[in-house]
Amino acid sequence: MPELAVYTDIDDLDPAPGVELLEDNGFRVRVLATRDPSEIAAAAAEATALLAGYAPVDAALLDRLPRLRIVSLLSRGSDTVDVAAATARGVWVAAVGDVAVEEVATHAWALTLALVRRLDYFALSARRDWLARPAPGPRRLSELTLGLIGLGRTGSRVAALAAGSVHRILGYGRGPTPPGVDAAPLAEVVARSDLLSLHLPLTAETAGLLDANLLATARPGAYLVNVSRGGLVDAEALAAALDSDRLAGAALDVLDVEPPPAGDRLAGHPKVLLTPHVAYLSDAAARDYVLTQARNVVHWRRTGRPLHPLAEPAARP
């Protein structure tokens, strides 16, 4: 009998291209629409491949999937998967690589420009009061310092987009420093930047990285942009920094809980420009996400290794 591949949740993307690719390569495919571990365990009990969106894949779920050999994610990061538990059980964890670097970087820079030019305010005032002006008003981009927290592919792409437009670019990260970026410690980047842009994965080390203590050192009137993961920022501390005018505003594509519950402080904050986790989205990226997720599984079946592994099993299947 053909091997079983199970999709957990895929949200607003169409799984059809991935399903077709898997079926063309001999898999039986089952498409769910759930993040519930019990439903996943029941449907995927015989699966060798799990194609996951935002469904959490923890040790308890892995223990209920004895035939599983690969978890292929619909993202670049692995914060929804217990990677250590997976590798200990001989399960590969794979991601989509650099599928949407261009889209995410463009979205981050677009949000940055929207904050600097106060487009959130003017888009409304043009329909309500033509002569209304915000306080604080727009700022001159060439006088501002951009601070990049994370200098991977996305952060580097933002640096390239910003080059020649801002006064200076500071950057904090573990990798090579991109051209035109002055490397600096995290504390210095936060304290000396007018525009802060986050480009880090969410890990145990980076969770809550921007907390109350660090935000208290931000340059007064600075702006924060986050298109990475909501958990990088202490939400209550960010709301407090906005309330106190330490930060003039924030543009967020991600929150701790998505969609946000009623009464969420950041989602309803007048100084927050919010987009609904769409930084990755374009027609091309939507197609490539789905196909790359499936290609990881196909490549693993053909070669014993996915195209974009995040972690290699301790004991190979």
Catalytic residues: 229, 258, 277
Termini Cα distance of the chain: 19
Catalogue the long-range contacts made by 56-63 (C-beta closer than 8 Å, 24 or more residues apart).
56/80, 56/81, 57/81, 57/82, 57/86, 58/82, 58/85, 59/85, 61/37, 62/86, 62/89, 62/91, 63/89
Contacts of 172 (CB under 8 A, 6+ apart): 147, 148, 149, 150, 151, 183, 184, 185, 186, 188, 189
Q: Is 72 helix (H, G, I), strand (E, B) or coil?
A: strand
Q: Which amino acid is at 60?
A: A
195-198 and 272-274 beta bridge pairing: unpaired
What is each CA distance from 244 to 118, 160, 188, 237, in whole angstroms?
19, 32, 21, 11
Q: Residue 207: what residue type?
A: A
Judge contact between 174 and 148, C-beta under 8 A: no
Q: Using the CB atoms, write b or e for 207-225: b if 16+ within 10 Å.
A: eebbeeebbeebbeebbbb
Contacts of 14 (CB under 8 A, 6+ apart): 286, 290
Q: How far is CA 24 from the centre of its chain?
A: 31
